[in-house]
Amino acid sequence: MSMITLALSKGRIFDETLPLLAAAGIEVLEDPEKSRKLILPTNQPDVRVVLVRATDVPTYVEYGGADLGVTGKDTLIEHGGQGLYQPLDLRIAKCRVSVAVRDDFDYAQAVKKGSRLKVATKYTSIARDFFASKGVHVDMVKLYGSMELAPLIGLSDAIVDLVSTGNTLKANHLVEVERIMDISSHLVVNQAALKLKQAPLRRIIDAFASAIPAPKN
């Protein structure tokens, strides 16, 4: 019996993956918000969950530290996806990547003028591709969190960040001026593991597929 290791991040991805695991008959035996453990057992002796930073999930799966994982499309694009089999869009942890500016900043005018736009983001690949496709020249400031702060203190003109309800932007007097792409979380699988542990991984992939939430219109 070979061990199957699933990489998840705490928070919304863990929470929204639980129903998919349930469909595969897998129940995580400890609550990551209460336990300090990084390796969580499940009711299936040959399945365990490892807790890693959201941005590290693709790396763990790429190098075989985990056989499979759940990760946002945003994180997957920035990682590059090399070495990863991506069988399923799980349609969970949905949000969008958008451009936002201070509510007193004239974005349309700045773009029209063709001046360089200072953009702060954790999503430099997505931002670079997006502004290149619009023919807008940007100076990129790489941040690792709290992007919303950057335009407020003059570090940048704009941010590229995830938006879901829009409440965080509103609370910081920022407005969404462009929607770059819709995001959801995907299942990623280590390609070598898929060959070596084909039967148990297929069983999990198929169970996840059967439990993906229906699209809402």
Chain residues in the site for ligand PRT (CB under 6 A): 9, 11-13, 53-55, 72, 74-75, 93, 95, 145, 161-168, 183, 185
> Toward ligand PRT, which CB reaches closer, 94 or 128?
94
Closest contact distance (angstroms) between CB of 199 and ligand PRT is: 30
Long-range contacts of 144-152 (CB under 8 A, 24+ apart): 147/120, 147/121, 147/122, 148/100, 148/172, 148/174, 150/120, 151/100, 151/101, 151/102, 151/105, 151/120, 152/102
Q: State in angstroms the smallest separation of the CB of 20 from ligand PRT.
A: 15
For ligand PRT, the closer CB: 171 or 199: 171
The rounded distance, in Å, linking the Cα atoms of 87 and 96 is 21
Tell me the closest approach of the beta carbon of residue 157 to ligand PRT, in angstroms: 18
Pairing of strands 84-89, 95-102: unpaired
Q: Of the two residues 70 and 204, which places its CB atom closer to ligand PRT in the complex?
A: 70
- Please tell me whether residue 86 adopts helix, strand or coil conformation: strand
Question: Would you say 122 and 142 are in contact if contact means Cβ atoms under 8 Å apart?
Answer: yes
For 214, which DSSP code? P
Q: How far is the CB of 51 from ligand PRT (least distance, A)?
A: 11
Closer CB to ligand PRT, 42 or 185, in the complex: 185
Length of the chain (residues): 217
Closest-by-Cβ residue to ligand PRT is 72
Q: How far is the CB of 185 from ligand PRT (least distance, A)?
A: 6
- Pairing relationship of beta strands 174-183 and 95-102 according to DSSP bridges: antiparallel
In the complex with ligand PRT, the residue whose CB is nearer, 92 or 117, is 92
